Amino acid sequence: MRAYLRISGVLFGVITLLHILRLLLHWSAQIADWAVPAWVSWIAMLGAAALCTWAFRLVRQNRLSP
């Protein structure tokens, strides 16, 4: 279980960093014919950061319990 949580935390951390890069470097994103606005990356960044934090807190909590 701890390995799964660590991998999930790292994956969501990478996704968070990619959204930050998209916002800082003004990368465009497009799905089919729809140009994804920047505000979508703000929401996705916050969600991915929350999931990353949650995963690593669970890893730490799992380590402390017997």
**Token pair recorded at residue 21:** 């890069």
Q: What is the domain count for the chain? A: 1
**Residue in 53, 60, 48 with CA at minimum distance from that of residue 23:** 48
pLDDT score of 66 more than 70 = no
Where in the sequence is the domain holding 41, given as residue range(s)?
A: 2-64
User: Over the stretch 6-45, which tens digit does the pLDDT of each residue have?
Assistant: 999 999 999 999 999 999 999 999 999 999 999 999 999 9
For residues 65 and 19, is the Cβ–Cβ distance under 8 A? no
Confidence of residue 1 (pLDDT cuts 50, 70, 90): confident
- Report the C-alpha gap between 5 and 56 in whole angstroms: 7
pTM of structure: 0.88
